[in-house]
Structure 1
Amino acid sequence: MALFSVSPSVLSSCLKSPPNHHVKLSNTSLPSLSRRRLNSFINKASITSAETPIRRTGNHHPNLWDDDIIKTIQEHQYEDSHYKERAERLIAEIKDMFNEMPTAKSGKSCAENAFEHLVMVDKVQRLGIDRHFQNEITQALDYVYSYWNDCPKDLNTAALGLRILRLNRYPVSADVLRHFKGNDGQFLCPSSLSEEEKIGSILNLYRASLIAFPEENIMDEAKAFAATYLNQALEKNNISSHLLREIKYNLEYGWHGNLPRVEARNYMDIYGENRSWTELADNKEILNLAKLDFNIMQSVHRRELEPILRWWKDLDLDKVEFARHRHVEYFALACAYAIDDKYSVYRSDFAKLCALTTIVDDVYDTYGTIDEIKLFNEAVKRWDPLPPKSFPENIKIAYKAFHMGVNESAQAAEKTQGRDTLPYTLKVWEAYLNALTKEAQWIVDGYIPSLEEYLENGVPSSAYRVTMLQPILTLDAVLSDDIIQEIDYPSKFNELLCLSLRLKGDTRTFKAEANRGELVSCISCYIKDHPESTEEEALDYLKELLQKRLKELDWEYLKPDNVPTISKDYAYNIGRSYQLLYKERDGFTNSNKDIKDLVTQLLLEPVAM
């Protein structure tokens, strides 16, 4: 069995033919690339070193972050001691707020008490400051869970509690929502609520419905109802600006394409617009801490970015012009969920390995000939520190940087794990490169596999595993081999993360890749299996398949097991960060739009205090 494979159970359930797919082939069913043009690409990729190859390129836009970024990141620093002292005072005050929340002895009903606890937890989590209050959050949610099955709840409390308890790994059933579903399919709110209060309840219902497990039909019903209700509310456009903004944000980002620091930055503005919210003294203090904490950590992250920029230049990676230069973007993604100061090594490791993986991907996908690709594989298997002499200079640069980066990452992991993890890591890289080689050979041969064959190879070639494993090993959790296998191969958790990335990525990249001569994708393979289907039907099928796999992934992520929470959280959030990159387009390739804005927001622009 290959190191990477898709289990028969996953693939067999993936690849059942959808009903009513027998529709005439439209003119746009397959990515438009003529056979003559494809043969031209194949011939160019096949030229040996005896001739000068005419190489394919992705025509990627250049690095967006020139030397002037250094000047920018050295401004507006928030690491002075008086900022940290102020933050500590606010943290202490908010801990007091947690301790003063009502209990069973307060005279209030258990439903009222539970709602207050949930709202407090929700605020600090949405604003990205929950890491300061882990003990307080645990105590609050233990209290809520102890009364969860006994006290009556309204829709707002039920939806809020279901989402928060589930995400914090309390075993709660989605059946709690059935109490609020009428015979007409509507979910019911108390008639005494104002229009905006009803919308707020339905918004919480929508957010809860996104954390769904397989076969939870009530969650599908809740999502469909809530999405329709919220979109209708947007069309009426007669609600407050902060609520309007909150609805748009949640509908756009959902859960799987969201990240903690992105959400926090948006909710600072959403809450800041809500005067009735900020007029409450407790809320004002929470918002002040969120802004201050964001700016303090942004200063930390800026300081960490400087050595990454030097690393890029020192290794001459700026001279590898055929490849995507995305080291800054990857670092910003790491900062979007790995917030804490103590995870500096993780952030740096993740950014460097992702940047190197992208360059290697561009060697295999476009620039390298099939002979060079095979030589690259052989050099990695021997773990040669120097590249083959026949490589052109830019691939030599890429290979040297790759070799050094993997070694340095292994050394960082050894400090945490107390053992050499490089042999294990190299097996992971070999499997990834073998998968890329197979895809390159398909291009040379003009071969389009079945969807099952494509996904079996496409899961490892998604690159999730090689960008996840080494950074995870630098965290402050020692992982034995059997625990590693619960988040890495052969776990279903890892398999579903890889598969979801492959499915999401192909729906965003297949047209651009086809124009470069890369005809093989989930879409073209599906159409090969179902010749009378259209491109639109293939996309619909794959999107539906992705949603099913994401539900399975959420169960694998949130179910109880022996994996340290920090390791599993970060492994899962890497997957969410890639989903975010593919939210609107291929953000790996086209980072000059929303991803550029993300970098600016997270790394360059402090929050106005």
Structure 2
Amino acid sequence: MAMTVRLCSSLSPKADANNSGGHQLCRLMAACGIVPAQLTRPSHRHHVLNRVAQVQKNGMMTLDVGGHDKKSVKNVSTVYPKHIYSQLSMVDVLENMGISRYFDDEIKCILDNTYSSWLQRDEEIMQDVETCAMAFRILRMNGYNVSSRYLSDTGSLLELYKASKVSISEDEFILNCIGSWSGYLLKEQLSSGALKRTPLFKEVEHALSCPFYTTLDRLNHRRAIEHFNVSCHQMLKTAYLPCHEDILALAVRDFNTSQYIYQQELQQLESWVKESRLDKLQFARQKLAYFYLSAAGTIFPPEQSDVRVFWALNGVLTTIVDDFFDVGGSKEELENLVILVEMWDEHHKIEYYSEQVEIVFSAIYTSVNQLGAKASVVQGRDVTNHLIETWLNLLRSMMTEVEWRISKYVPTAEEYLENAFMTFALGPVVLPALYFVGPTLSESVVRDPEYRELFRLMSTCGRLLNDAQTYEREYSEGKVNSVSLLVLQSGGSMSIEEARSEIQKPIDACRRDLLRMVLRQEGAVPRPCKELFWKMCKVCYFFYYRSDGFSSPEEKVREVNAVINEPLQLKGSSSSDVPVW
């Protein structure tokens, strides 16, 4: 199909953030053969249907790009590409580009049909290695119950390697075997130079070095957008996807609009740090940029501003409190802080032990009350007490570690981990954010065993990842962690490296168990809330997979800039046709 596209460049990110037009979405749908049955305004429906008819008649298409607010499309009936591989390729591209949320209904229809074909062992899936591997990966990551045994006869190395990482049980031996041999063969191809001049070289290199659970979604989106013209040959093996320029244009606009919003939110948080005098605490690591990166990198849709802001704000507070208990505060100061939080609204009845205590408590008290008031409106019930309880649980667990350190008590590995998953301090970051992701959470849900188990798995995985990278520093501070405890309790028969290798087993188990809980459809906790636990698990891997990237002031600066500050650098011949707002 010959296709001429006229792109409008008059929209700035700021203006586009509130634009409710549907032209760009309509253009993408029309170009891909997706015909809207009803749009919000008749003029839009008439415009798009005329364009589709024009394409069908003479193969030429001239369209305007307007806003892309999903709300402008209703009751969409669709005409999908015929082949399953084509449909899954479209879904994969939209997810990789960070714009799948604009096509939720279309994607669900595609995946439902694909799942039905999977259950029937349709030859179109089972006899094509790439289609089978891609179907397994995408269906599983979207919550469909698919068995890995169907992969035993397939051999698409890259897709199979990526599929092997979507493991939810240590009993999935097929995935383990596939991951081992496909990874080995891919490494052999890289080292031999066979892939050096092929478009797949970078993709294979990235897949081998960064399993999907070790990086942030928005970094993947940026990489996919910037290398889109290099990798699109995989998607365009079929003639059913003629709209790659439109996909790129929408992804670029979405990314740039989001960046503008991220920059505004980060400036707002920087002002809050100064107003709260947190920058005056000399003992504290200033990690606002890193925590905001973790928020924007995983909770990327512009409309989820409250989730990002409160996630980053509480991340800053928990980091400061962690440093206060580790190095900044005396035992008297720490006990004073715990009592102040216990008394909460009656804290004025006792004095602050020091200015440091006053700054830390005041920041916690003010932010929790503000967050609680806002969350209570969203939820239709008072949730402030739950937020206070979350902070108290953290502080009391931290105080237990302080008492162990002062008394030189060495806990058992079980004692340590039962307390340490709490002191990893993810509770005040993730749990309040759940109130803002959409679903209503009743008191019974936040008390449900599933809710606690999601929290335990996420926090334990993060704690063990952290322990594997920070044991030397913590040992010098008089603290034990899971690595040093294994060495001590072995009587010297286990080395540090052996201990680090040993804790990799529970790390992998926690990650798989957490992903299995997140992906299963039943349960008391709504899926959008469960996904937030998984997002934080990925954040933990991102910072601690190979080193203590969180404590380093420089290691993740490039990623901060890539998500928040630096404009996209488009590559390929068609990039000059894509507007960059």
TM-score normalised to structure 1 length: 0.78
Equivalent residue, structure 1, for 2:338: 377
Q: Name the structure 1 match of 2:94.
A: 124
Residues 1:94 and 1:480: Cα distance change in structure 2 (over 3 Å) = same
**Residue range with higher mean Cα deviation, 495-504 or 298-307:** 298-307
Shift of 1:80: 4.6
| Equivalent position of 1:218 in the other structure | 174
How far off its partner does 1:411 sit? Answer: 1.3
In the other structure, the counterpart of 1:133 is: 103
Provide closer, same or farther for how the CA distance between residues 456 and 268 of structure 1 changes in structure 2, counting only shifts above 3 A. same
Q: Which amino acid aligns with 1:122?
A: D
- The partner residue of 2:445 within 483, 493, 499 is 483
Judge conservation of contact 1:95–1:136 (CA < 8 Å) in 2.
no
* SS across alignment from 1:400: helix
- Mapped partners of 1:522, 1:83: distance in 2: 46
Q: What letter matches 1:93 in structure 2?
A: R
* TM alignment of 1:451-462, pairs within 5 A: 451-462=413-424
Once the two structures are superposed, what CA deviation does each residue of 1:423-457 show, in whole Å capped at 9, x if it has no partner?
Answer: 12222221111111111122212222221111111
| Residues 443-501 of structure 1: per-residue CA shift (max 9 Å, x gap) | 212222221111111111111222111111123221112222458753x2221111111
Asked if 2 retains the 8 angstrom alpha-carbon contact of 1:432 and 1:461, the reply is yes
Alignment of 1:590-605 (within 5 A): 590-593=552-555, 595-605=556-566
Residue 254 of structure 1 aligns with which residue? 211
1:307 to 264, 268, 287: 268
Partner residue, 2:478: 518
SS of match in other structure, 1:473: helix
* In 2: Cα distance, 1:285 partner to 1:553 partner: 36
* CA 357–138 in structure 1, closer or farther in 2 if over 3 Å, else same: same
Give the counterpart of 2:159 among 201, 204, 226.
Answer: 204
What are the ranges of 5 or more consecutive residues in structure 1 without an aligned counterpart?
Answer: 1-75, 102-109, 181-187, 189-200
Equivalent residue number for residue 163 of structure 1: 137
Give the stretch that moved more between structures: 370-379 or 160-169.
Answer: 370-379
Alpha-carbon distance in 2 for matches of 1:359, 1:418: 31
Could you tell me whether the CA contact under 8 Å between 2:310 and 2:429 is conserved in 1?
no
Matched to 1:146, the amino acid is: S
Q: CA deviation at 1:275?
A: 7.3
Number of residues paired by the alignment? 504
Distance 1:112 1:135, change over 3 A: closer
Match of 1:422 in 2: 384
Question: Distance between the aligned counterparts of 2:532 and 2:11, measured in 1?
Answer: 27
Aligned partner of residue 170 in structure 1, secondary structure = coil
Residue 500 in 1 paired to residue 500 in 2?
A: no
Contact 2:483–2:500, Cα closer than 8 Å, also in 1: yes
Amino acid at match of 2:147: S
1:92 aligns with 2:26: yes
The answer on whether the counterparts of 1:487 and 1:571 sit within 8 Å (CA) in structure 2 is no
Q: Give the aligned partner of residue 313 of structure 2.
A: 352
Q: Deviations over 1:146-182 (max 9, x none)?
A: 11133122221111111100111111111111233xx
Structure 1 residue 502: deviation in Å?
0.9
Question: Per the alignment, in what secondary structure is the counterpart of residue 105 of structure 2?
Answer: helix
Q: 1:138: Cα distance to partner?
A: 0.4
CA contact (8 A) 2:337 2:357 kept: no
In structure 1, the partner of 2:545 is 583
Q: Are the structure 2 counterparts of residues 341 and 86 from structure 1 closer, same or farther at C-alpha, using a change threshold of 3 Å? A: closer
Conserved in 2, the CA contact under 8 Å of 1:486 and 1:493? no
Identify the residue that residue 34 of structure 1 maps to in structure 2: none
Q: 1:261 to 1:473 in 2, by over 3 A?
A: same
Q: Decide which of 536, 542, 545 is 1:574's aligned counterpart.
A: 536
Q: Deviations over 1:368-414 (max 9, x none)?
A: 12222122111111115559645332332122112111111111211
State whether residues 386 and 400 of structure 1, in contact with CA within 8 Å, keep that contact through their aligned partners in structure 2. no
Aligned residues of 2:333 and 2:357 also touching (Cα < 8 A)? no
Rate the CA distance shift 1:513–1:347 in 2: closer, same or farther, 3 A. same
CA deviation digits over 1:512-535, x for unaligned, max 9? 2223x1330111111223221111
Rounded to whole Å, the distance in 1 between the matches of 2:445 and 2:279 is 38
1:268-307 alignment, distance < 5 Å: 268-274=225-231, 276=233, 281-307=242-268
Corresponding residue SS for 1:256: helix
Q: SS state of the match for residue 179, structure 1? A: coil
Is 1:150 the counterpart of 2:150 in the alignment?
no
1:465 aligns with 2:399: no
Amino acid at match of 1:132: Y
Q: Cα deviations across residues 288-314 of structure 1 (Å, max 9, x unaligned)?
A: 211121001111121222221111111
The 2-side partners of 1:564 and 1:292 are apart by 30
Change in Cα spacing, 1:548 to 1:407, as seen in structure 2 (3 Å) is: same
User: Structure 2 matches for 1:5-20, cutoff 5 A?
Assistant: none
User: Separation in 2 of the partners of 1:586 and 1:333?
Assistant: 15
Match of 1:340 among 301, 315, 337: 301
Aligned to 1:73: none
2:375·2:383 contact (CA, 8 Å) conserved in 1? yes
In 1, Cα distance between the equivalents of 2:20 and 2:232? 24
What 5-or-longer segments of structure 2 have no aligned partner?
Answer: 1-9, 36-79, 570-579
Residue among 126, 139, 147 paired with 1:173? 147
Retained in 2: the 8 A contact 1:87–1:292?
no
1:84 is displaced (CA, Å) by: 7.7
Cα distance in 1 between the residues matched to 2:349 and 2:180 = 54
Moved more, 275-284 or 419-428: 275-284
Q: Distance in 1 between matches of 2:257 and 2:512?
A: 35
Query: Aligned partners of 1:276 and 1:573: how far apart in 2?
Result: 30
> What amino acid is the match of 2:162?
R
8 Å Cα contact 1:428/1:465 also seen in 2: yes
C-alpha separation in 1, matches of 2:536 and 2:552: 19
Note the alpha carbon deviations across 1:68-112, whole angstroms, 9 max, x for none.
xxxxxxxx99425479879943322333355559xxxxxxxx997
Amino acid corresponding to residue 359 of structure 2 in structure 1: I
Contact (CA 8 Å) 1:87, 1:293: kept in 2 or not?
Answer: no
- Measured after TM superposition, the shift of residue 540 of structure 1 is 0.7
d(CA) in 2 for partners of 1:418, 1:275? 46
Structure 1 residues 511 and 421, CA gap change in structure 2 (3 angstroms): same
Amino acid at match of 1:163: R
Tell me, yes or no, if the aligned pair for 2:136 and 2:163 is still in contact at 8 Å: yes
Cα pair distance change 1:82/1:555, threshold 3 Å: closer
In 1: Cα distance, 2:449 partner to 2:28 partner: 35
Query: In 2 relative to 1, CA 533–166 (structure 1 residues): closer, same or farther, beyond 3 Å?
Result: same
Is the contact between residue 469 and residue 547 of structure 2 (CA under 8 Å) also seen in structure 1? Answer: yes
Structure 1 counterpart SS, 2:535:
helix
Look up the SS of the partner of 1:355 in the other structure: helix
* Contact 1:242 1:274 (8 Å CA) reproduced: yes
Aligned 8 A contact 2:87 2:110 in 1: yes
Q: In 1, Cα distance between the equivalents of 2:177 and 2:383?
A: 46
Distance 1:372 1:527, change over 3 A: same
